[in-house]
Structure 1
Amino acid sequence: MKNDSQIFGIRAVIEAISAGKTIDKLFIQKGLQGELSKELMHLAKKNGIGFSLVPIEKLNRITKKNHQGVVAQIAPIDFYTLEDLVIQTIESGDTPLFLVLDQLSDVRNFGAIIRTAECTGVHGIIIQKKGGAPVSADTVKTSAGAIFKIPICKVDHIKDAIFYLQSSGIQIVAATEKATDSIYETNLTLPTAIIMGNEGKGISPSVLKLVDTKAKLPLSGEIASLNVSVACGAFLFETVRQRT
């Protein structure tokens, strides 16, 4: 972790959470005792912040400072609420185009997708608070700074985000090899949110049940799938082609 995005010490992390800072990673020493540590874990759970219980050796590798058994990484950007993101986009008069990332885990894929999304006019990227790749210094670097130019929204549950998008008149298109229709048979000129899944498992089955349309990329080689950032680029540029 980079020092400029790192805070350490129980009290400092408690104050950061209380001040509304977005914590991407929180490491707490295994077996840490005391009222303050209990307060920190309670506060983290209350705010939906996941944390890892780790041996002190890991914390000592992260920082040479007096960490008191706690190290956290602050996200380098401010996040949008889903409601603000959708309303702002609709009021702009543009045809909405969103990306929903379902449990994407690789920071480099995340950064590459952000960069492509910014280049193709995506209005915002929606991710889940828990289980996905963090918005870290590595994400910023891989995105080539695009992360500062495109709104990113964190939600508690992807499924709730889908319901809200659908109620706002936005079709949900799942990028999945399980589809029967290709991307070229899918109408992407409508207000659209494209869902990309996890690198290994793809889109969650429970999420797939909720989408309006499933689409795939036609592949003619022997390898059955593309890297998720490459597939995302293909979907986004097909959207650009249809809308131009």
Structure 2
Amino acid sequence: MTTRRSRAARRGGPAAGFLQVEGRQPVLELLRSDHPVERVVVARGRHGAAVAELLERARARGIPVEEVDPADVRRWAQTEGHQGVLALAAPLPRYDLLDLLDRAAARGEPPLLVICAEIQDPHNLGAVLRTAEAAGAHGAVVPVHRSAPLGPTVFKSSAGALIHLPVAQVTNLSQAVARLQERGVWVVAADPAAAEPYDRWDWTQPVALVLGSEGRGVPPLLLRRADRRVAIPLAGRVGSLNVSVAAGVLLFEALRQRRAGLA
């Protein structure tokens, strides 16, 4: 790691046109992948096992590591939890709906997708994508508009899962739903008012789970277009769950059923 003032500092900060990843775990997850990385920036004086592994992986891949003044990192960072570590990488690949279905076919599995309908809180969107990747989903669908952008906050909230989970960004969610239905994918919306409990649905089928924002829920048009609606029964007085918690309940039920079907 250099001890001189970095090229990034001389240029006045990270360059535009790159994916900026912030935080030790997200940067480490980035380096564990084969995604192209231009450089890693670390605040001077940062130590610990996570930083040591990060530096080792960067060097093994021949990625420049630059040590800069902590004030520079704070100035460049776009999230509060950057932990003194940034990385500049190539933009995330662009995916189409069919790419997500092809990924499921390549695994020999029925598709399991997540449709994020107007989730505008980047922390919630990132947490949903993290959950989807952990549950073995084949991809996610996110609208171009009326959604949190897939930037540093979403990437960090996903704990780096965004580097592994393909995300198709679409201009029209209703049309995307129709395309999936045409290809035999059941579109199932999470709806607190639904009569069918989530664990009564057969998640071993090709499924696209629709999740909405915490305030509004799934938009009415998508609720009408969905093939089924399912609810998570609640025992307490609170009327709803955080969307990422709901995603965990539903997706891991899908994973449980699919594993049971292989037993």
Kept in 2: contact 1:97–1:191 (CA 8 A): yes
Alpha-carbon offset, residue 6 of structure 1:
3.7
- Structure 1 partner of 2:64: none
Q: Structure 2: how far apart are the matches of 1:221 and 1:5?
A: 49
Q: 1:122 aligns with which of 137, 141, 150?
A: 137
**Using the alignment, how far apart are the partners of 2:111 and 2:96 within structure 1?**
16
- Asked if the contact 2:103/2:138 (under 8 Å) is kept, the reply is no
**Which of 232, 235, 238 is the matching residue for 2:250?**
235
Corresponding residue number in structure 2 for 1:20: none
Q: Deviations over 1:104-158 (max 9, x none)?
A: 0111111111111111100000011111011011111111111001100001111
Question: For the residues of structure 2 that align with 1:133 and 1:228, how far apart are their CA atoms?
Answer: 14
Q: 1:224 to 1:4 in 2, by over 3 A?
A: same
CA contact (8 A) 1:75 1:135 kept: no
Task: Report the counterpart of residue 170 of structure 2 in structure 1.
Answer: 155
Q: Does 1:4 align with 2:4?
A: no
- Shift in Å at residue 190 of structure 1? 0.5
Q: Which runs of 4+ in 1 moved over 2 A?
A: 3-7, 87-92
Pairing 1:101–2:116 present:
yes
What is the rounded CA distance, in whole Å, between the counterparts of 1:4 and 1:99 in structure 2?
A: 32
Name the TM-score, length of structure 1 as normaliser. 0.69
Structure 1 residues 141 and 196, CA gap change in structure 2 (3 angstroms): same
- Amino acid across the alignment from 2:97: L
Name which of 205, 229, 237 aligns with 1:190. Answer: 205
2:44 match: none
User: Per-residue CA shift, 1:189-235, capped at 9, x if unaligned?
Assistant: 10100000012100111111111110000001001000001111100
Could you say what secondary structure the match of 1:4 adopts?
Answer: coil
* Structure-to-structure mapping, 1:150-229, within 5 angstroms: 150-229=165-244
AA in 2 matched with 1:118: E
Question: Which residue, out of 55, 62, 79, partners 2:94?
Answer: 79
CA-CA distance at 1:87 after TM superposition: 3.0
- Per the normalisation by structure 2, the TM-score is 0.64
CA distance in 2, matches of 1:80, 1:156: 13
Which 10-residue stretch deviates more, 84-93 or 106-115? Answer: 84-93
Structure 1 residues 104 and 112 mapped into 2: Cα distance closer, same or farther (>3 Å)? Answer: same
CA change 1:241–1:88 in 2 (3 A) is: closer
Query: Retained in 1: the 8 A contact 2:188–2:207?
Result: yes
* 1:189/1:243 contact within 8 Å kept: yes
What is the Cα-based RMSD across aligned positions, in Å? 1.9
Q: Alignment length, in residue pairs?
A: 178
The runs of 5 or more residues in structure 1 that have no matched partner are 8-61, 64-73
2:253 and 2:98 map into 1 onto residues whose CA distance is 27
Residue 4 of structure 1 deviates from its aligned partner by 3.3
- Counting aligned pairs with the same residue, the percent is 36
In the aligned structure 2, how far is the partner of 1:143 from the partner of 1:112?
Answer: 5
**Partners of 1:5 and 1:76 within 8 A in 2:** no
Deviations 1:48-80 (A, max 9, x none): xxxxxxxxxxxxxx99xxxxxxxxxx9942220
